Chain A
Amino acid sequence: MIRAVYITVATPLAGALVLAGVRRLAVAGWLNIMVCSVTFVAALTLAAGVARDGVVAGSGFRIDAFNVYLLVLTAFVGMTTSVFSRPYMRHVCISGRTTERGMRLYHVMFQAFLFTMLLALSTDNLGVLWVAIEGATLATVLLVSLYRTPEAVEAAWKYFILCGVGIALALFGTVLLYFAAQHVVTDLSMGLTWSTLYGVASQLQPSIMNLAFVFLLVGYGTKVGLVPMHQWLPDAHSEGPTPMSAVLSGLLLNVALYAVVRLKMLVDGSLAVTDSPHLAGYLLMGFGMTSFLVAGLFLHRQRDIKRMFSYSSIEHMGLMTFAFGLGGPLATFGALLHMLVHSLTKSAIFVTVGHATHIANTQSIDHIRGLIRTQPAVGWGLLLGVAAIAGFPPFGVFTSEFLLLTATMQSQPWFTLALLTGLTVAFAGLFRHLHPMVYGPAPVGQQPVPANMLPVMIHLGLVLWLGLSIPAFLASWLDRATGLITGIHLL
């Protein structure tokens, strides 16, 4: 089964190398889709293996119930985004916003980015996890500046510097972690492997682990987009090409949060016997709640459609961080489900937004009008996507948010009020901008664009399915992950 891990991780890397040599744009687009499909099939095989054996481990990789579902999700969103990006980037190239060299760079970096994501998810070594997440910054930073406008260059520089600094702090945390491990682990070459550390977590020095976790949280939290380290996120999302925004929001943020949760599991084990066993959880709750509320307010004052949805991403990442901090099986189950549905919905929204900006030829919310008149598929896609992300039943986001609310009411009743307020504020923020964009008359001369809405339909269909009934295999899957993280099964 370990072979499936190799194939899953190595396929995008090989794809990046091959795509570097492909000059014909038409070929590159299709090849990109093919590579992503192979990755997805390999990830599915791997998931079947994990479902059968429980854990697939070997030569530095370790796949368990927690990361396997994120692996499948990553490969899936990568695949659907590649389907969307083929006609989209062709349109970009024809309209002269980038050159053929830029397109080659785009395809190579798209695959390189997927490689770093899959590597970060599948590795057992916390050092390699760091290397992979830093690699994700490096792979995407040139894409943010792909259009070479002053805004794009500025966004890319901000992204590079902020994430570089953040991730450097995370490395310091990793060093401290290794330092704590040295007193406990005998075989030092295993001193950074998560499974080894998890086995001895209760013996790790709490004082060092505390310090390490603060650095790690600030570091990886920068990548999650937690307030106040979120500054890079709206810029990078709004200035980069839209397929990039879709995978950044749908995948990178998830993977960074995944890293935080893995580390929280270690710290919780170490602090269990001290007088502040939930310190890591409280930190996550604080950062999460702040991000959730602040981003909800910022939704109201956005003028750029992609910027608006990136704030919505910050809001949802804040919610998940809060839920993981809350701990307990119900909150963790809800957060895992929310990671899934948010990824699917948000990437679908960015795909639709990409088409909408091509129809209106601008990203300014004030100038996008009458989408349903001009191109009903795009208009309805945007409307349904936003309805889903705002937490309307019967979509899956409603289910997960409902679970989170219930869990909050159980353990921290006062936070329910803040959560409800935040959800309402965010809902109002999204819809006040959405309404004029989809309804109303279209500006004269606004033409439909060639759009492939299939990825959007599949994503939203899945989210709808998850909202109506979570299939048994997925529920048991998430439940196993919950059991892994909290030690208690929900179902």
Chain B
Amino acid sequence: MNLEQLPVLQQLMVVLAAVALFTSFVLLEQARLVSAIHAFAWQGVLVTLVTVVVASSGGRAHLFFSAALTLGLKALLIPWMLHRLVRELELDRHSEPLQRPALVIMAAVVLVIFSYWLVLPIVQQELTFTRNIVAVSLAVVLIGLLMMVVRKQAVAQVLGFMSMENGLFLAAVSATGGMPLIVELGVAFDVLVAMVLFGVFFFQIRESIDTLNVDRMNRLTERGDDA
């Protein structure tokens, strides 16, 4: 497809979404938790920017509200809560490099290609612009998923989860111009409650296994039953 033929605002949107995808990679590879939280916050800022661009191009007033919601929730509140939790759990110096960084990054690249392949049917309706955005947001979702698989640290897994939510939000805003307001509010509420509960769980996990490395939680397997 030819990017130059798109209106300037749409080009801007694609670029911002691409940078958001880039932050997903940064997030995936970050060894230190604090830096990962920062990368996540920047991703939130980028999603907000996309929302603002869509709002100003489409004239949908309620999108300004959801932009404010994203900024408040994804770029400020959740990173702040995570920051505080990390400090309380004394994990600010914690760093855990990826086991096989090259392999993981390759897997992420494959996921991006897979996302493009998956949304191929949509291109048949000449919605090249939307296809790009949907593919990019799906890639953000899948990389978040990958992060939850490869990271063994509970906080990092939560970051993966939250970055999945970012991808979903990106898809909703850029492909469809934002979900109906009541849905958006509901989703934001759920994400916020989930974050609070994650915080509770960090302490419960550490209380029960003395670490936040969830790989150590292996009491409940089918094999364990035979023991």
Question: Measuring CB to CB, which residues of chain A are less than 8 angstroms from any residue of chain B?
Answer: 60, 125, 127-128, 130-131, 134-135, 138, 141-142, 145, 148-151, 153-158, 160-161, 164-165, 168-169, 171-172, 175-176, 178-179, 182, 188-189, 191-192, 205, 207-208, 210-211, 235, 238-239, 298, 301-304, 307
Contacts and interface: CB of A to CB of B under 8 A. Distances in A.
B164 interface: yes
Interface in B88-123: 118-119, 121-122
Contacts of B171: 172, 175-176
A211 B208 contact: no
Interface residues of B, number: 51
Nearest to B179: A127
Given A141-B197, A149-B208, A154 B161 contact: no
25 contacts: A125-B180, A125-B182, A131-B186, A134-B194, A145-B204, A148-B208, A153-B209, A153-B217, A154-B218, A156-B204, A157-B154, A160-B201, A164-B194, A168-B165, A172-B138, A172-B167, A178-B172, A178-B179, A188-B180, A191-B176, A192-B183, A205-B125, A208-B122, A211-B118, A303-B226
A180 to B, nearest CB: 9
Contact of B161 (A127, A135, A168, A175): A168
B168 interface: yes
Given A210-B121, A211-B118, A135 B182 contact: no
B15 interface: no
Contact of B187 (A145, A150, A171, A188): A171
Interface string B215-227: 0011110100110
Query: How would you classify the secondary structure of chain A's contact residues: helix, strand, loop or mixed?
Result: helix
B186 A127 contact: yes
A165 B145 contact: yes
A239 B165 CA distance: 28
B119 A301 contact: no
B148 A158 contact: no
B82 to A, nearest CB: 16
Q: Among the interface residues A134, A175, A235, which one has the most CB atoms of the partner chain B within 10 A?
A: A175
Contact of A298 (B200, B204, B220, B222): B222
Contact of A161 (B118, B121, B148): B148
A302 to B, nearest CB: 6
Closest CB pairs A-B (n = 3): A127-B183, A131-B186, A207-B121
Contacts of A179: 130, 134, 175-176
B100 to A, nearest CB: 22
Interface string B165-200: 101100110011101101100110110011001101
Given A172-B168, A307-B225, A153 B220 contact: no
A23 B190 CA distance: 27
Q: Among the interface residues B124, B141, B190, B214, which one has the most CB atoms of the partner chain A within 10 A?
A: B190
Contacts of B187: 127, 130-131, 171
Contact of B208 (A153, A301, A302, A303): A153
A150 B209 contact: yes
Contacts of A239: 220
Nearest to A302: B225
B169 to A, nearest CB: 9
A460 B111 CA distance: 50
A207 B161 contact: no
B157 interface: yes
A85 to B, nearest CB: 22
Contacts of A161: 148, 157, 161
Given A138-B197, A207-B122, 12 more contacts: A127-B179, A131-B189, A135-B190, A150-B217, A153-B204, A153-B208, A161-B148, A168-B161, A172-B168, A207-B124, A298-B222, A301-B226
B180 A191 contact: yes
A128 B186 contact: yes
A302 B221 CA distance: 11
Interface string B63-82: 00000000000000000000
Nearest to B60: A188
Q: Among the interface residues A142, A161, A208, A303, which one has the most CB atoms of the partner chain B within 10 A?
A: A161
B70 to A, nearest CB: 15
A153 B201 contact: yes
Nearest to A298: B222
A303 to B, nearest CB: 4
A147 to B, nearest CB: 11
A304 to B, nearest CB: 7
Contacts of A298: 222
